[in-house]
Amino acid sequence: MYKNKKVVVVLPAYNAEKTLEITLSEIPMHIVDELILVDDFSKDNTFQLARELGVNHVIRHEKNKGYGGNQKTCYTKAMELNADIIIMLHPDYQYTPKLLEAMISIIGNEVYPVVLGSRILSGGALKGGMPLYKYFFNRFLTFIQNILLNEKLSEYHTGYRAFSKDVLNSIRFMENSDDFVFDNQMISQIFYAGFQVAEVTCPTKYFDEASSINFSRSMKYGFGCLYVSLLYRLCKWGICKSNLYN
């Protein structure tokens, strides 16, 4: 626990067998109470390996539900366990678990209720091998989104996120997509609900075993992000309503 707050790390997994052990080995279990791994119908040995490595709660989807669908299961289970601080860590080792303690302390000390690990601050994305086209789209989308949401994040597209239980209890994340745009919908819901968001510099690694989406899926994701941001602005202006927010 951290200052009498229960800390739960959720790991949305898909074909993470090759990187799971090293990811788990760097999690600071002296302050993390429980681990939840949701295997989204992997084709490898992720589910069995997670159980062998002692993950507290290992859940396997009977069919692939998608990245957003995986997170819905993760967060629902975390709330069932009465978690006070919930952190999403990808088990593909693209984000370092060594930042968990810093992210937990920000929420645990009630400085901010949400913390994102930013790959853009200090140039971590390009140093870590992010493809140039993904970097360009990341910067372009973030620029547009900051305008539409009237915020100043360095990026909206990181998969390294920590939340207080109050945040998850206040937003309608189950209304979100089961696809990759889930992440952006969630950030927009957080801002719509009036929560402040902190960012910490996060190095990242791009390698063969790290999960990534191809160019066509990236384009679909990009248009989805723009739609979410425009919908947010229209709802803020009272022009329309959406199940995401109202």
CA torsion through residues 107, 148, 145, 169, sign: positive
For the chain, list the domains and their CATH numbers: 7-236 (3.90.550.10)
Please indicate, yes or no, whether the overall pTM of this predicted structure exceeds 0.95.
no
Annotate 189-224 with b (16+ C-beta within 10 A) or e (fewer): bbbbeebebebeebbbbeeeebbeeeeeebeebbeb
First to last CA, the chain: 34
Beta strands in 158-221 (DSSP E): 161-164, 197-201
The number of helix segments (H) and strand segments (E) in the chain equals 9, 7
3-class DSSP state of 125: helix
Provide the 10 A C-beta neighbour count for residue 133. Answer: 11
Q: How high is the mean pLDDT in each 10-residue block of the chain (246 residues)?
A: 97 97 97 98 97 98 97 98 98 96 98 96 75 88 97 96 98 97 98 98 72 78 96 96 92
